[in-house]
């Protein structure tokens, strides 16, 4: 058996589609279209990885780079992907955002997902990005939703009292839960439409101040010689007025 991890190409789409259909146990609804994949390859080819077993693509991970300050922790899958257009991708961003990982069910047990996660970590380090963040499903939660809150469920998964096929794997790969998200992926009945916002921190990250995105600020100036003031206290009162005006 020959196993190869490499960059995805559009020529892989036939195998990719078959693996997606099998992984999600659907008739094709909700899978990435060829146009979606081509778009990702156009904007960020390095972030689209696959694993071929005997030359057949059976696993894949898709990623974009985002300026996480724009979104913050309270976002949905539609928000972070720009409603699946990936217009949110920016090469000057600080976070590698994972938007997809799947493995063909017939090839599970070969540790393919772990290989994809490790390749993502290497990419994050190579590109000097601050972290990997993703919204993770908790597909086992529906079995406990009547008795456990999402937080209690996550705590029991962390303590290994409950096995969740997604979260258990992510925790074992050095990801931590940053937050619980509501309505992250509408229609995810197994997760009760909850998701874990997971993160892996790049310990080699070097902050590049000169490469940061420009931020909009308000600037107010008060010059002593442009206005006549009877004393310094009057000047300070005028400064306070302008500070209040600009900050409002």
Handedness of CA 237, 241, 244, 246 (dihedral sign): negative
With CA atoms as reference, report the closest residue to 92 among 135, 130, 123: 130
Instruction: State yes or no: pLDDT of 203 exceeds 90.
Output: yes
Q: Is 224 left (phi over 0), alpha (psi -120 to 50) or beta?
A: alpha
With CA atoms as reference, report the closest residue to 103 among 23, 171, 180, 46: 23
Read off the pLDDT of each residue in 192-204 and give the average, rounded to a whole number.
97
Catalogue all structural domains in the chain, each as residue range(s) with its CATH number: 3-137+196-211 (3.40.630.30), 217-248 (no CATH)
Of 19-28, 89-98, 117-126, 229-238, which range is least confident?
Answer: 229-238
Instruction: State yes or no: pLDDT of 242 exceeds 90.
Output: no
Handedness of CA 114, 117, 118, 119 (dihedral sign): positive
Higher pLDDT, 237 or 80: 80
Q: Describe the strand order of the beta sheet including 56-66 as a list of residue ranges.
A: 3-7, 49-53, 56-66, 95-103, 131-136, 194-201, 176-182
pLDDT for residue 231: 66
Mean pLDDT computed over every residue of the chain: 90
pLDDT for residue 232: 67
Read off the pLDDT of each residue in 72-101 and give the average, rounded to a whole number.
97
The stretches of 127-188 forming alpha helices (DSSP H) are 150-158, 167-172
**232 C-beta neighbours (distance < 10 Å), count:** 9
With CA atoms as reference, report the closest residue to 94 among 195, 216, 206, 217: 206
Higher pLDDT, 100 or 220: 100
Higher pLDDT, 232 or 100: 100
Distance of alpha carbon 13 from the chain centroid: 23
pLDDT for residue 27: 39
Structure tokens at 31: 């899978």
With CA atoms as reference, report the closest residue to 120 among 49, 185, 26: 49
Instruction: State yes or no: pLDDT of 219 exceeds 60.
Output: no
Give the position of tokens 């962390």. 158
Higher pLDDT, 1 or 235: 1
pLDDT for residue 24: 83
Distance from C-alpha of 186 to C-alpha of 166, rounded to nearest angstrom: 18
- The 10s digit of each residue's pLDDT in 129-175 is 999 999 999 999 999 999 999 999 999 999 999 999 999 999 999 99
Of 45-49, 66-70, 150-154, 229-233, which range is least confident?
Answer: 229-233
With CA atoms as reference, report the closest residue to 134 among 148, 124, 146: 124
Identify the helix (H) or strand (E) that includes residue 225.
Answer: none
pTM above 0.75, yes or no: yes
Q: How large is the C-alpha radius of gyration of the chain?
A: 23
Structure tokens at 39: 């778009």
Q: Percent of the chain beyond pLDDT 70?
A: 82
Read off the pLDDT of each residue in 60-83 and give the average, rounded to a whole number.
97
pLDDT for residue 214: 52
The total number of residues shown for the chain amounts to 248
């Amino acid at each position: 058996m020959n196993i190869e991890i490499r960059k995805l190409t559009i020529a892989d789409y036939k195998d990719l589609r078959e693996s997606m259909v099998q992984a999600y146990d659907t008739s094709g609804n909700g899978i990435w279209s060829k146009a979606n994949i081509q778009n990702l390859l156009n904007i960020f080819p390095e972030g689209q990885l696959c694993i071929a077993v005997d030359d057949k693509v059976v696993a894949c991970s898709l990623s974009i780079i985002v300026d996480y300050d724009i979104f913050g922790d309270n976002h949905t899958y539609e928000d972070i992907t720009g409603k699946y257009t990936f217009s949110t991708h920016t090469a000057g961003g600080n976070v590698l955002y994972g938007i997809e990982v799947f493995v063909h069910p017939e090839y599970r047990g070969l540790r393919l997902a772990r290989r994809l996660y490790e390749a993502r970590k290497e990419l994050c380090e190579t590109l000097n990005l601050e972290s990997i963040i993703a919204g993770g499903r908790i597909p086992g939660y529906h079995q406990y939703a009547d008795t456990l809150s999402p937080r209690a469920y996550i705590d029991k998964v962390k303590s290994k009292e409950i096995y969740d096929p997604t979260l258990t794997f992510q925790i074992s790969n050095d990801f931590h839960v940053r937050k619980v998200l509501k309505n992250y992926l509408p229609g995810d009945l197994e997760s009760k439409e909850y998701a874990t916002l997971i993160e892996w921190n790049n310990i080699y990250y070097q902050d590049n101040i000169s490469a940061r995105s420009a931020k909009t600020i308000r600037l107010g100036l008060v010059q002593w010689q442009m206005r006549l003031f009877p004393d310094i206290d009057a000047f300070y009162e005028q400064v306070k007025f302008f500070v209040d005006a600009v900050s409002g």
